[in-house]
Chain A
Amino acid sequence: MLLRCMSNYYVLLNGIRCFSSKQCIVYTTSVTDPFYNLAFEEWMFRKVDFTKTNCLFIWRSQPSVVIGRHQNPWKECRVNDTISDEINLCRRSSGGGAVYHDLGNLNFTFFNEKSEYNTKRNLKLITRGLRETWPFLDVDVNRRDDIILNKRYKISGTAARLGRRSCYHHCTLLVSTNKSNLTKYLHPNKLNLTSIATDSVRSTVRNLSDEDNTINCKNVSNAVTQVYVRQFSGAKYYEIDTKSEQLLTGVTEIAKELLQWEWVYGKTPKFTYEFDYYHEKSEQTFPITLEVKEGIVSNITVQ
């Protein structure tokens, strides 16, 4: 059944809301540098007007830990392991918890004007796309905006950024991620860290490819794109080089900001770290408290 949409009104078309007066653009990229892909998101958020055109950006990263804007990297992962194993450690501009990216994880970024902010709509669009192509998949969206597989496994994490007129909502999707690396690098640190930084909520994870080994990032990307574009009166598709300063003036500057120590580590909300120090010569143990502000030790107390 096809319903005619009236301008500025959403109607239901087989359960999907229709922006029939709007166009959309779907961007994909072969760039897997998370700093540049995150920079591209921020560039779009700052510079593009989404009143007539919505955008969807589908991308993947080399192995990376991506923490939320207000998180503590030392709490969320073993920072020394990520550095020594050459895993990227990124802080994104949106909120939410820590996620692990690799080439088996798909990221979707939905760009809208602020009045259209609706994370559930976007996530249900993804689950609908998955079920249309693989009807046996038991995937659903819970109240925490997680996509859950088989009523048990979390396969997606969500975060968002809201500006004056625009917003974006991005989420991960575990298609064929290396789960042992995910567990290794997203391992919560046992260090005694106290802070008000946003905490991640841990869940058991599973890949879509564990359900059917023919499921891969390419066919999932196509499945979701198909459902996404159906909402609009017209769609364009671009393969974009997110590193291109010529196309995206200012993107390099944003990527550099995201790479800086002051952003990745210095943006950490202040915290205290308590540990026991054993002094060999005197054979005594001293409880030590470090106060850390902007990623730097600002005070040490020895009891």
Chain B
Amino acid sequence: MASARLVNVVASKAFKSIQYSRLGFLSISQSNGSLKSFKPHCRRVHTTHLLSERLFTKDHEWISIENGIATFGITDYAQEKLGEVVFCELPEVGVECDKDDVVAVVESVKAASDIFAPVSGEVTSANEILSTSPGIINTSPEDEAWIAKIKMTNDSDKDGLLNESDYKKLIVSLE
């Protein structure tokens, strides 16, 4: 995509470049090794998940609840911040977890990041495809790369979760 680039050099160690795409979207990148900065994007939504309302956590997980079973994964925003995922450590099936327990670990760019249980309950299945193809967390984070399913023990756990509109506001406030 062709773009005009305005380069602002600050000191000799870091620079910001502000890029305006042909479509007028603003994207900002920094080259100082910090977590990747915000790039506006279309959130990938697939029709299979429109059937149940999608909820989100402040830790950037998405949850889809149907018949008391919560399927969850990490959001597109989270996978972009992580970078290329090279390994996903899945929860053990049958294990009981409390809301906010560390239930999975994702490794990317030499960093191991904790993923937290969005609700309390029993892990009924884990997405084994992530064991052999962890990269789908980057390519399809909110569809194919679901991490696990939890049979909820406490229906009120979903009360603290964010709806899509509130989650979008959260992302904007972080940038």
Contacts and interface: CB of A to CB of B under 8 A. Distances in A.
Interface of A: 12, 15, 68-70, 93-97, 117-121, 123-124, 141, 145, 158-164, 167, 196-198, 269-270
Given A12-B11, A68-B107, A160-B112, 8 more contacts: A68-B110, A121-B32, A124-B13, A141-B33, A145-B110, A159-B112, A160-B110, A269-B131
Given A12-B11, A15-B12, A164 B59 contact: yes
Contacts of B107: 68-70, 95, 198
A162 B111 contact: yes
**A-B CB proximity, top 3 nearest:** A120-B33, A96-B110, A160-B111
B34 A117 contact: yes
B114 interface: yes
Interface of B: 10-13, 32-35, 59, 86-87, 89, 100, 105, 107-114, 116, 131-132, 134
B76 to A, nearest CB: 18
Contacts of B89: 69-70
B82 to A, nearest CB: 9
Contacts, number: 84
Contact of B34 (A68, A94, A118): A118
Contacts of A197: 87
Nearest to B174: A115
Contacts of A119: 33, 110
Point out which of B12, B87, B111 has the most chain A C-beta atoms below 10 A from its C-beta: B111
15 contacts: A15-B13, A70-B107, A94-B111, A95-B107, A97-B110, A117-B34, A117-B35, A118-B35, A121-B32, A159-B110, A162-B112, A164-B59, A164-B100, A164-B114, A269-B131
A70 B34 CA distance: 23
Contact of A196 (B13, B35, B132): B132
A198 B86 contact: yes
Contacts of A118: 32-35
A95 B116 CA distance: 18
B174 to A, nearest CB: 9
Contact of B87 (A12, A196, A270): A196
Nearest to A169: B111
B134 A95 contact: no
